[in-house]
Structure 1
Amino acid sequence: MSEPTVIEHPSLDQLRQEALEWGRAPRRRGAWYVTEHMVRAMRAYGWTIIVGALGQPILYLLGLAVGLAALIDAPVSDGGMEVSYLVFVAPALLMTATISVASEEFTYPVMSGFKWRRYFFGFSASPLSSGQIATGVTFGAAARMAVVAVAYTAFLYLFGAIPQGASGLLTILVAMLAGLAFGVPLMAYAASIEDDKGQFALVQRFIFMPMFLFSGTFYPLVTLPLWLQWIGWISPLWHASELGRMLTYGRPLSPLMIAIHLGYLIVLTVAGYLIGRRLFERRLAK
């Protein structure tokens, strides 16, 4: 007779070790898993992203290049330089495009993850940490910003709105930083909201729109009365637009002002991320 087969069951230590092995990959790459989810979720409104990335710059640039710029014969004087109106306004429009994406991706999708679809709690039940979830949300929004920034910059070159040449490509990075500087603090705010009572609509009306209108987007900031210029001074849009104008048509900027503009955008992004990460941890611990 053949000997009976002995089945060896894994010990508790072996099972624990296997579980740790399975959990190490999410722990190492957890932020990228969340990023992948956020990007895949954008497929539900993918056509909106494509139309927005391609249609918005065409409409704005046609309106400015063929319409408004045709009525403004005199060049715009900016920082001791004279440039056409289209060249002057183009960098600010690029920055506005990524900030607009940030205002979409860091508001309702964040609140949905906590309140309506609650998928953040599903992520948190896995080996993913709260910090990785916050990082993944940030990276996912940045991916959409990159698509918009690249498409917009391509149209700016086609319309001759970037006379500086290759250095104008760096405006893509500045535009993404502008979107993060506005959007990451907004993500922190969205993570703190328990119920939707129209807070995001107020952000659009009383923060985004005044920033868009009074941050030197359509005319140099110094032409505004002093009591309105402060809106531009605290606005990430103005700081990013100044850097963009330096890169696209060589607007003179001192090293100190370059450091101030970059530093302000970076501080907003880092501070917003740290606060948002803390709020993610607090909400997901409940």
Structure 2
Amino acid sequence: MSADIRFDTSTHTDIGKVRRWGWWGVVEHRALLLRSYWTTMLLTGIGSPFIYLLGMGVGLGVLVDGGQGIEGVPYLTFLAPALVMATAMQVAAQENTYGVFGGFKWANTFTAMRLTPMSPAQMAVGFQVSVLLRVLPMVFFYMAALWTFRIGEPLRVLLLLPLGTLLSLAVGFAVMAWVATQRDERGQLSFVERFVIVPLTLFSGTYFPLDTLPGYLQPIGWFSPLWHAAELGRTALYGAPMGAWEGVLHIGFLSVLALATAMLSMRTFRARLDD
């Protein structure tokens, strides 16, 4: 007697597909969630860059330019790339605080995903890619404002997109790695914005050159991903002087930070979900 043994190859195919492309499922899930407030995101995304650049240019920019600008360029030109990078950093940090914590604690999204062939590493990577769905439109709206106000060279403005992406990944994975270790929310998530993101925005050469700060405050900028991204943004936008080794240092810092915190995020996700 022979037994007719058959396997459901479609099931095995689906499992293999999830194991390869599971991270994309996280992106699709997050994209569907964004649909509920895309109108608000669109309105604020379009309006904020134009209003902010107009206010800074007509207001503070007039006072600074009376002293011949900063580093040989109008104040708004000096400020603009740093504002773009600061926005990318802020959005990435915001999405990775309550978004990541909620996925573990409130909505249990990551716990549900763990019941599938999707790995914790795919969840971390997929979530971070989905954050770019919020970051890159904001960067693009700022780019549109720069084109409108004729700040920088038109083609050079496009270089802000990859820089904003790299900064978003570096900051996003760093915040994610910490948030994934938090078991309860007692207000500490808001500390990221108040005591990390805001100080970095103020002390990373965003509104004025870093070397104008007192010597004891300048190290904050040296270790700030925003300062490295802002310096690269100024060189990209209007050709601010930068040596080859400086460029390698800035890009290397952001790349190493993104890679190291990505690996740490994957480990914390696995430890949290396997606990």
**For 1:1-286, what aligned pairs fall within 5 Å after superposition?**
11=5, 14-15=7-8, 17-72=9-64, 73-78=66-71, 82-162=72-152, 164-286=153-275
1:96-115 deviation digits (Å, cap 9, x = unpaired): 11111101111101111100
Residue 10 of structure 1 and its aligned partner are, at CA, apart by 7.5
Number of aligned residues: 272
Higher mean displacement: 19-28 or 214-223? 19-28
Rg larger for: 1
TM-score, normalised with respect to structure 1? 0.91
SS in 1 for 2:118: coil
CA distance in structure 2 between the partners assigned to 1:134 and 1:147 by the alignment: 21
CA distance in structure 2 between the partners assigned to 1:92 and 1:179 by the alignment: 14
How high is the sequence identity, in percent, across the aligned residues?
38
RMSD across aligned positions (CA) = 1.5
Residue 226 of structure 1 and its aligned partner are, at CA, apart by 0.4
Q: Which runs of 5+ in 1 are unaligned?
A: 1-8
Verify the 8 A CA contact 2:70 2:78 in the aligned structure 1. no
TM-score, normalised with respect to structure 2? 0.94
Residue 22 of structure 1 and its aligned partner are, at CA, apart by 2.3
Verify the 8 A CA contact 2:111 2:273 in the aligned structure 1. yes
Q: Which runs of 5+ in 2 are unaligned?
A: none
SS in 2 for 1:198: coil
CA distance in structure 2 between the partners assigned to 1:45 and 1:195 by the alignment: 27
Higher mean displacement: 165-174 or 136-145? 165-174
1:83-142 deviation digits (Å, cap 9, x = unpaired): 000000000000011111101111101111100000111111112111111111011001
CA distance in structure 2 between the partners assigned to 1:157 and 1:22 by the alignment: 46
1:120-179 deviation digits (Å, cap 9, x = unpaired): 1111111211111111101100122111111111111111222x3312211111112112
Verify the 8 A CA contact 1:149 1:176 in the aligned structure 2. no
CA distance in structure 1 between the partners assigned to 2:68 and 2:22 by the alignment: 51
